[in-house]
Chains A and B, each alone.
Chain A
Amino acid sequence: MTTTTTTTHAPKSAVSRIVAAGTHQRVLAFTSLIILLIGFSLASPNFMQTSNMIAILQATSVNGVLAVAVTLVIITGGIDLSIGTMMTFCAVITGVVLTYAGLPLLLGVIAAIATGAGCGLASGTFVAKMKIPPFIATLGMMLILKGLSLVISGTRPIYFNDTPGFSEISRGSLIGKVLPLLPIPNGVLILFIVAGLAAYILGRTVLGRYCYALGSNEEAVRLSGVNTDRWKIAIYAMSGSIVGVAGLLIASRLNSAQPALGLGYELEAIAAVVIGGTSLSGGRGTILGSLIGALIMAVLTNGLRVLSVAQEWQTVVTGAIIILAVYADMMRRKRSS
């Protein structure tokens, strides 16, 4: 009985499967990334240097981790505007644990991730239980966390000078110890580990499945007897814990928790997600896409700087890229429907 059905659906080739899965935007983003890399290499011999490539990756790490975090929420059809200030809040809490309380490094790491998860839990509860639209709930959260960071730190940076290992989290290089020619910083390694984990969660776990299901048709999921509120909260919490990792990365890179920092990071991350082909209306999106999106933004910034283009213009170009990327995606969808 089973054989009849399986033979009628011969497994598709890997290529056609990728195309069929609607990954066009990701392919487009990836191609753009390659073209940018080639273009900048031709324009300046300084661009394609190992040290510059590593600088680009290092610059991607924080925005990349944030983009991964917010991808989960955006796939559910939500949005999280608080991730920038949440990242800072996590860094400040880590400062409290390590510098104020003088506790061991590991506890600081746990504190950052737990703080992020707690913030996500709160946002998720506002959205799922109190039915506040995600945009508003997380806008409120963004201000609350910004304020709390300033209050707790007394508006002054918290330095990690007493915890010598802390800056190694981002700036050390485990890979470089093994392969001296490839001194990839730990921050980049962490980005790829986090991205890999998130991609696994999205593709292979129940939590991931409900991300797509909620974004696709929340009412249908609810009518199927799924406790949609609980899952939504879990997704925001998962996203928050990834933001906690971003908090560790930025604090480690600056060797300090800067309480005034954070605002604006959320928009950069959302931009990366959008460039990577994730639909803001939910139901569709990939971690790989967001990663490529974050890389495109970092390559642009770096490349334009290498070409000595003023920073003001870099911002303009990034904005134009976002509009182009989404327009290309809209055109494709219009054609396919």
Chain B
Amino acid sequence: MTYLVEMKGIEKHFPGVHALKSVQFDLMPGEVHALMGENGAGKSTLMKIMSGIYARDGGEMRVDGTTVYLDGPRAAQDLGIGIIHQELSLMNDLTAAQNVLIGREPRLRFGRLDEAELNRQTTEIFDALKLNIDPRASVGSLTIARQQLIEIAKALSYRPRVLIMDEPTAALNDAEIAELFAVIARLRADGVGIVYISHKMDEIKRIADRVTVMRDGAYIDTLDVAETPLSTIITLMVGREVTQSTPEIPDTSQAPVALQVRGLTRGRDVRNVSFALRRGEILGFAGLMGAGRTEVARIIFGADPRDAGEIDVGGAPVDIRTPNDAVRVGIGYLSEDRKHFGLATDMTVRANIAMASLERFTGSTGVLDEAAMKRVAQDHIAQLGIRTPSDMQAVRLLSGGNQQKVVMAKWLLRDCDILIFDEPTRGIDVGAKAEIYRLLQDLAAQGRAIIVISSELPEVMRLSHRIAVMCEGRLTGILPGGPATTQEQIMELATRRDTALAPAGD
């Protein structure tokens, strides 16, 4: 057997989600094996199993032909399997060197640290990667790109035989990507097997030998990259559903403008973003990770301050400084992280639905009118089809899709005419997704203005009446919705980097 790693029939369940359904994957020494699929396809879960962070529920994993059970990240490290996580996992208060060699600090006697040796070893590692980073710099003070490079240096310092990279270029610029690819080429020449997760098609063509495609937690196919056109890979990733259902796009060009944004700017995250949203319209926001879409939404909602820019609601300028201001003028924001920002998960469905409108249920004595809250909650449960045994069920016991509906009910009750949905179907099963889509379309049909931020292109294409695309904080274009727009057009705008120094905004 020439396989470095071989995984077969891998199963993984999370509460309410069948995350991996009999997935297979193999890796040979000296190859770059791309792993592709939409968000939520199960790529990261599979790689967390390979690197010992999750335990598998079923299936077999072999390393060098021997079946292994990994009981933690340490066990994977000992087998030479390293991973660079998608989210940065660094200790911001520590220096670069302290981060790179965490857990393997050079020691003197009595547990004392050899700081000079620590910095020396790290300098060596950085030099080998041609990184110009001070090993003594505090990580929190560095840019995201440099932090990403430190993360990569840390993984490489284990001298892994298998290296998993989960979207390593999300925060890197072209020059840094070129450096990273040079490192990958050297590793490949040394016989290291590399698993490369990325959404960027051009990268796959540049460095990958083989590609495995996953969809909805299932294995689809493994192909030779050189012999496979990109369109085939995309078709496999997306499946057939997108091509079938194209949205009916109502003509909203005469509808009154609900929200107008001009020159919205916040540091480097959001640069001079302007757009208009009409009543009855669904405006999709597409872009890669870190493009600034959530940041735009948070500024409009008053959750983050802005450096510059104006916001009009219903044709009149408004001064939004806090979420409270935004809600007052009828803007609701449904966060991508429901559990942290959208719901009090230990409280009941009724309490959550009423949460943003409590004054409506408060009498002059300050006592809450439970009977009225119950009526309203039950109305919304019926209206949105929330599947719950009663309005007194704790929200944490509902499935992801039904939790999302509870958040929607909360904002509907608040009479928000402008609703911003950030990743509305993240972590939701396919069936429930279709229901959420239908609800969004109904809301638009009722005359509400809707923004949908999504990292899943098929979702944006299926829902949006118009598609706004962002790249590195800039709005690089607004495309019409429907079959006229292709994924390639969107990707082109989403990767249109600001190579010239001139601020190409609109």
Stretch at the interface among B91-99, B258-266, B370-378, B385-393: B91-99
Q: Return A220 CB to nearest CB of chain B, in Å.
A: 4
Establish whether residues B98 and A209, one from each chain, have CB atoms under 8 Å apart when the complex forms.
yes
Establish whether residues A213 and B126, one from each chain, have CB atoms under 8 Å apart when the complex forms.
no
For the complex, what is the distance from the CA of A175 to the CA of B275, rounded to whole Å?
A: 75
Residue in contact with B91 in the complex, picked from A6, A9, A20, A216, CB distance below 8 Å: A216
What are the residues of chain B within 8 A of A8 when measuring CB–CB?
132
Closest B residue to A22 by beta carbon equals B138
Chain B window 276-298, contacts with chain A (Cβ cutoff 8 Å), 1 for yes, 0 for no: 00000000000000000000000
Establish whether residues A207 and B91, one from each chain, have CB atoms under 8 Å apart when the complex forms.
no
Closest B residue to A11 by beta carbon equals B136
Chain A window 178-193, contacts with chain B (Cβ cutoff 8 Å), 1 for yes, 0 for no: 0000000000000000
| B115 interface hit (Cβ, 8 Å) | yes
For the complex, what is the distance from the CA of A186 to the CA of B236, rounded to whole Å?
A: 77
What are the residues of chain B within 8 A of A208 when measuring CB–CB?
113
Of A1, A207, A209, A215, chain B has the most CB atoms within 10 Å of the CB of A209
Establish whether residues B112 and A204, one from each chain, have CB atoms under 8 Å apart when the complex forms.
yes
Chain A, interface residues (CB within 8 Å), range: 20 to 34
Q: Return A67 CB to nearest CB of chain B, in Å.
A: 20
What are the residues of chain A within 8 A of B41 when measuring CB–CB?
none
What are the residues of chain B within 8 A of A132 when measuring CB–CB?
none
Establish whether residues A9 and B134, one from each chain, have CB atoms under 8 Å apart when the complex forms.
yes
Residue in contact with A226 in the complex, picked from B102, B124, B136, CB distance below 8 Å: B102
Establish whether residues B115 and A223, one from each chain, have CB atoms under 8 Å apart when the complex forms.
no
Establish whether residues B113 and A6, one from each chain, have CB atoms under 8 Å apart when the complex forms.
no
With an 8 Å Cβ cutoff, the count of chain B residues facing the other chain is: 31
Establish whether residues B102 and A216, one from each chain, have CB atoms under 8 Å apart when the complex forms.
no
Within 8 A of B (CB), among A1-59: 1-2, 4-6, 8-9, 20-22
Establish whether residues B72 and A225, one from each chain, have CB atoms under 8 Å apart when the complex forms.
yes
| A155 interface hit (Cβ, 8 Å) | no
Establish whether residues A207 and B90, one from each chain, have CB atoms under 8 Å apart when the complex forms.
no
What are the residues of chain A within 8 A of B110 when measuring CB–CB?
205
| B363 interface hit (Cβ, 8 Å) | no
| A221 interface hit (Cβ, 8 Å) | yes
What are the residues of chain B within 8 A of A163 when measuring CB–CB?
none
For the complex, what is the distance from the CA of A83 to the CA of B446, rounded to whole Å?
A: 62
Chain B window 96-116, contacts with chain A (Cβ cutoff 8 Å), 1 for yes, 0 for no: 001000110101001111010
Chain B window 50-76, contacts with chain A (Cβ cutoff 8 Å), 1 for yes, 0 for no: 000100000000000000000011100
Establish whether residues A212 and B105, one from each chain, have CB atoms under 8 Å apart when the complex forms.
no
What are the residues of chain B within 8 A of A219 when measuring CB–CB?
89
Establish whether residues A212 and B93, one from each chain, have CB atoms under 8 Å apart when the complex forms.
yes
Residue in contact with A217 in the complex, picked from B72, B92, B111, CB distance below 8 Å: B92
Closest 10 CB pairs between A and B?
Answer: A216-B91, A220-B89, A225-B74, A283-B93, A216-B93, A226-B103, A9-B134, A217-B91, A224-B103, A224-B102
15 A-B pairs within 8 Å (CB atoms) are namely A5-B127, A6-B123, A20-B138, A22-B138, A206-B112, A213-B91, A213-B94, A215-B93, A217-B90, A219-B89, A220-B89, A221-B103, A224-B102, A226-B102, A283-B91
